[in-house]
Amino acid sequence: MTNDVSYTTEEIAKLLKISKLTVYDLIKKGELPAYRVGKQMRIDAAELEAYKARAREGRMPPAAAPGPSGSSRPEAGLSPGSRPLVITGQDISLDILAKHLEKQAPGIRPLRSYVGSLDSLISMYRGESDIVSTHLLDGDTGEYNIPYIRKLLVGFPYIVVHLLTRNAGFYVPQGNPKGLRSWDDLAQPGLRIANREKGSGARVLLDEQLRLHGIAPESVAGYAAEESSHMGVAGKVATGEADVGVGIEKAASIVGGVDFVPLIRERYDLVMLKKPDNREWIEAVRRILQSDAFLGELRSISGYDLTETGKVLLET
């Protein structure tokens, strides 16, 4: 191993057999010094070896100690005065938000974590993320996100701000040969589905609809096989490996050989914890969401309804 070797956060997660969110948490605490190359965070091999040596000996640097507010010191290991901000979720709107936030909030260094909605909220509960995106349907009320946020973030002061609304539904082969038009059609004998991973918004949507329509998950072929993105699900349908998948409209417009059947309008919202240290960048996020520059970029992407972007849905 030489001084020229460095790793991405994904590579570190695999080497240490931990989640990528845990890697971000180690960076925030200063236990894994990192630096930015373009949009990517990298960790030198020497720093990884030093961290492993400290862990074996039970030694952790002072930077890992909590500050006065009870939060760890995230700026250690980055450029002086910078503060990493972990933004979870997979939609491209979050990449655009991260770009604007880095420009408009001096000292903030956005880090992107591409995890699903439920895992994102759990990571916020654990203190591993700062801005969480979520699109989780509660089938009993028909409401998005708020029921899950209330249950998972009990005791935390937080603010929920609307990002965008978009269509979700079925990916089907061109021409929709199985004639799939409603959730009830998932009960068709012999139907093969491409599924998302547990904790993703699309997986929660599917599971809620199967429950509401009395369809046993084990009766749907392919239910146990998981893809980690909307593109992966649409790709399985395009190649003929599946007859249907659940996801958002945008992926169908990118993957050839796939048609889209819209079934529901889903709310995609942001959650931020209202800690004293977070006040300034939360205000920066709210300004960005309502800015002409940010909205202009999102309007160039098909399938987004931005009517209520920036609206505060709940504040505790």
pLDDT at res. 189 = 96
For range 272-277, the mean pLDDT: 94
pLDDT digits (tens, 9 = 90+) for 42-51: 888 888 988 8
Enter the tokens of residue 188: 């068709």
* 194 burial level (CB within 10 Å; 0-12, 13-18, 19+): buried
| Alpha-carbon distances, residue 129 vs 41, 86, 158, 194, 265 (angstroms) | 16, 5, 13, 29, 26
Residue 182 phi/psi, 5° resolution?
-150, 170
Token look-up 């969110």 returns 21
Q: What is the DSSP letter of 78?
A: S
User: Cα–Cα–Cα angle for 218, 222, 226, nearest 5°?
Assistant: 110
Residues 36 and 43: their CA atoms lie apart, in Å, by: 9
The percentage of the chain sitting over the pLDDT mark of 90, rounded to a whole number, equals 68
One-letter-per-residue 3-state SS of 278-306: HHHHHHHHHHHHCCHHHHHHHHCCCCEEC
Name the average pLDDT for the chain.
89
Q: pLDDT confidence of 70, banded at 50, 70, 90?
A: very low
| Alpha-carbon distances, residue 269 vs 39, 57, 65, 140, 304 (angstroms) | 23, 43, 32, 19, 13
Residues 192 and 195: their CA atoms lie apart, in Å, by: 10
Buried/exposed code over 135-148 (b: 16+ C-beta within 10 A; e: otherwise): bbbebeeeebbbeb
SS3 111: strand
Residue 32 pLDDT > 90, yes or no?
no
User: Cα–Cα–Cα angle for 197, 181, 202, nearest 5°?
Assistant: 15
For range 20-40, the mean pLDDT: 76
Report the candidate in 97, 135, 128 with the shortest Cα–Cα distance to residue 9: 128
Q: pLDDT confidence of 64, banded at 50, 70, 90?
A: very low
Q: What is the DSSP letter of 197?
A: P
HSE-CB of 3 using CA atoms within 13 angstroms: 0
Residue 22 phi/psi, 5° resolution?
-65, -35
Higher pLDDT, 21 or 137: 137
pLDDT digits (tens, 9 = 90+) for 169-188: 999 999 999 999 999 999 99
Residue 129 phi/psi, 5° resolution?
-145, 160
